[in-house]
Structure 1
Amino acid sequence: MIAKTFFGFEEVLAKELQLLGAMDVQQGTRMVSFRGDKGFMYKANMALRTALKILKPITQFAVYNEANLYKGVQSINWDEYLDVHQSFVVNATVFSDHFNNSQFVALKTKDAIVDQFRNKHGKRPNIDKDFPDLKINVHIQRDFCTISLDSSGESLHHRGYKTATNMAPINEVLAAGMLLMSGWDGRTHFMDPMCGSGTLLIEAAMIACNIPSNINRKEFGFERWKDWDADLFDKIEESLLKKVREFHYTIKGYDKAPSAVIKAKDNVKNANLEEYITVKQFNFFDSSKETEGPLHMVFNPPYGERLDVGVERFYREIGDTLKQGYPGTEAWFITANIEALKFVGLRPSRKIQLYNGKLETRFVKYELYEGSKKGKYINQN
């Protein structure tokens, strides 16, 4: 099978798969391949935090032209996967000199499937782009075509808990990947000082408590498949829930916008995590550390592209607040305004390239020391 992810999270996803029990885990670009049975496919969809899709390949063949594509798709017995009264949709991605239009590839794949049903049964399944019973994925890489079934349905970043978002929300898979990449494991206090609609807070709590990432999701694509096994799914879900653990620290979120705080609290409630997460209206720049011991901080400040902030002053205030108010803190944040990092006034100990949508970003780490280690601050200005 294939788990798709964002650029930069391949290693994180591979580790997740290995810990979950996958076999033959191999990293690619924006994807990780692995082996597992039907039960593991259910488990992967429910538990993986950094996967966007879980695809199940059903055939592979060489493809040089339209005729090869049509013949290859027709070689599949589609009755195994789809009834004539059901609906389907085809998505295609193409990296080939032989094809330059993914919509054309999707259309020809659809034609081959429909023609097979017409020839066998005298009628055909419908196309439904919004709520299909079967999602089919076509991937052409050079001379090679892979036909897969999309077991996830909607992207796995649709966790099911988020009903309200702020102006520039962060994708749930991106949030979880950042948290795992930062080393967050639920063994310290956690803070998001610019929490928006609460995504990082919720994903942090789910990691800390080992709650399956998609436990709140209403449906997966495989639930409409012909071989759907509800009893097996229930057993997998039960086994995952038995591994949920208690969390003995605090998870706090600030936002200066009242509307964002309301949205964050609603989403925390939807995720059934109110006992672990507190959110309050407060300006981070007026704050200081409230907890004893180490603090893990991850946040997604405004970049300046979509939200109006005075960039130089804003980033300088981030650095000043961290230096003056947050000793003993490991602070990470993501930004697409890479030039603005020089105004923070601290040298990051790590700087990782990621993408937030189409925006190239840096995920940066600052270590704020206590006591005599304050001498390790390095001012860039």
Structure 2
Amino acid sequence: MKILITGGAGFIGSAVIRHIIDKTDDQVLNVDKLTYAGNLESLKMIDGSPRYEFRQIDICDAESLKQAFTSFKPNLVMHLAAESHVDRSIDGPAEFINTNIVGTYNLLEAARHYWQNLGEAEKSQFKFHHISTDEVYGDLEGTTDLFTESTPYAPSSPYSASKASSDHLVRAWQRTYGLPTLITNCSNNYGPYHFPEKLIPLVILNALDGKPLPIYGKGDQIRDWLFVDDHARALYKVVTKGKVGETYNIGGHNEKQNIEVVKTICQILDELQPKVDAQAYESLITFVKDRPGHDLRYAIDASKIANDLGWIPEESFETGIRKTIEWYLENLEWCRRVQDGSYQRERLGTTE
């Protein structure tokens, strides 16, 4: 199979590409704009594979997308390219509207025109898989409620509203034009190669540098945590085995309060790399003013993907978070190069 993946230099996208190149015989075209959160060093280990190709393309560039479809001739599309950081969406929503909504529209149109001109056999094989988030569902009020595939949308932030909009576009292109689409909505991902602005890598790196560990409000927000390699397996399962027109929720079965997550990281760091002053890393925890519109609880019902496609996560939070911390301790140079962009410049032959 030939799979066109957008956003393949990002956290989840790079995990998907590593999984495909390592575990299958499929070919991959990675289409990525290379924003601040996309980094090709996350794909360094498979960069020389003859089944992998990278092209620097902005999904808002309709002509470049068209050329990519025409030359690569994909059987499958996995759309992961997105602006995804909630705090950034509050400070500057325009980029989220442009990338997540307009960019998705451009990709849908490129895929539709390509698909409509395929032969019948190729047409029947083609799928467009849109990767979304559980944040489109908004906030859960109860302590036992779960997001299902039929939960009404109620996004709270500019980020989640833009992702909800893109989900609606994908469903409309399937309903109106017959484009064979699938959608997945996932819970919070974590694991190796995560860009350092997100909660878990930020806490790890701040702790190692002796910096404050900022926690919004009381830290009582609850999230379901999904190890990124488990998510990559699920996404490949959906795009290859999922039923066209369906939505699948993907969760890790690991609900944790943010404060629990941070304290767990601190306790593991105390064990693996104690502070030189012998104080506990928890002493660095600092509570800060909560952000606007902060949802209290997300939790996924992932029974559909388990029952229909046989996918369940392999990692518990306890095993996954330890693997994640160990990886960061062993790859601090990667973090530095991602943050300063040095590998990116070397790979692309630029100096700025």
The higher-RCO structure (CA 8 Å, 6+ apart) is 2
Write 1 or 2 for the structure with the bigger share of strand.
1
Q: Same fold (TM over 0.5)?
A: no
TM-score scaled by length of structure 2: 0.31
TM-score scaled by length of structure 1: 0.29
Write 1 or 2 for the structure with the bigger share of helix.
2
